[in-house]
Amino acid sequence: MENIFEKIRKQLIDVTDEKYLEFNRSLVPGDNSTMLGVRVPRLREFAKSMARENGLEYVNAVKEQEKQGKVYHEELLLHGMIIGYMKCSLDERKKLLDDFVPVIDSWAVCDSSCMTYKFMKKDMDLWFEYLMKYLDSTQEYELRFAIVSLLDYFVTENYIERVLRILGDVKHEAYYVKMAVAWAVSVCYVKFPELTWDLLAGNQLDDITHQKSIQKIRESFRVSKEEKERLNTLRRSKTG
C-alpha cells in the first residue's frame, strides 16, 4: 500500500517545472540534484491542504526520510511550511520546530518556512524566548532561522531595542548568517531609522555585515535620498 510520503512525492514530480528548476538551482547552494523544480506557491497550496488533513502524518513520514538523507529540497520545504499552517498546541508546535530547524540546509528552506510562522505574532514573549536558544547555536541555518524569525515578526516598538542588541552581538563567519543580519538591520532601519543608525554608527557589526547592511538599506524605496547620502558617511574603507 502506498504511504503518504510516496503519494506526495509522486504529486510533486507531476507538477515540476524545468525552467523553474534551472532558475532555482542558480539561487540555492548545495546539492542541486535534490531539487525537483516545484514553484513555491504550488508548494504552499500542498502544505495548506495537508495541514488541514494529514499534516502530522506527513511530517512524521518525511522526518524518517530526512534521517536517511533521502528527501528532495521541496519535501524539506513542505515539512517546514506545514508546521506553520497546522493547528496544534504551543508545546506541539515547539516540538515540531525542534525537529525541523536542525535539518534546514539552505537559505531558501529557512526563509520560506519562516514566512509561514505567523503564529509567532501571538504569544510573542514566548516565541521570542524560544528563539534565544537558536541564537546561541554555532550552526549556520539554525542561527539564520532565529534571525529571520526576528526580522519577520519582532521588528516592533516593544522588541526593537532587544532585536538591535541581538543583531549587534551576532558573531559568525557563515555567509548566510551575515546576510541574514544585514537583511534584518535593513528592515529595522526602515521602521526605526534612528535606533538602527545608532547600531551602525556604533561599529558593532563586522565589516562585511556592516557594508551589506548599508547597501540593503540604500536599495529600499522607503528610504529617502537624503538618508541614503547620510548612510554613505558610515561606509568603511575596507571590508574583511
The CATH number that applies at residue 240 is: 1.25.40
Q: Examine the pLDDT at 240 and tell me if it is beyond 50.
A: no
Farthest CA pair distance, the chain:
66
Residue 200 pLDDT more than 80?
yes
**pLDDT in the model for residue 239:** 45
Q: How many residues does the chain have?
A: 240
Cβ neighbour number for residue 180 with a 10 Å cutoff = 28
Angle CA 164–95–56, to nearest 5: 125
Q: Are 2 and 9 in contact (CB under 8 A)?
A: no
Domain enclosing residue 207, as ranges: 121-240
The verdict on 35 and 61 lying in the same domain is yes
Buried residues in 197-228 as b, exposed as e (16+ CB within 10 A): bebbeeebbbebbbbbbbebbbeeeebeeebe
What are 119's three cell numbers? 503564529
- Cell readout for 2 is 502506498
CB 115 within 8 A of CB 37: no
227 and 154 part of one domain = yes
For residues 103 and 141, state if they share a domain: no
Residue 192 and residue 230 in one domain: yes
Residues 74 and 135 in one domain: no
Three-state DSSP at 107 gives: helix
**What cell does 137 get?**
547555536
Q: How confident is the model at residue 238 (pLDDT cuts 50, 70, 90)?
A: low
Query: What's residue 71's pLDDT?
Result: 94
The phi and psi torsions of 51 (rounded to 5 degrees) equal -60, -35
pTM over 0.85: yes
Q: In this predicted structure, what is the pLDDT of residue 102?
A: 97
pLDDT at 25 over 60: yes
With 60 as the cut, is the pLDDT of residue 1 above it?
no
Report pLDDT digits (tens) over 113-151: 999 999 999 999 999 999 999 999 999 999 999 999 999
* Among 116, 138, 159, residue at a domain's last position: 116
- At which of 116, 134, 162 does a domain end? 116
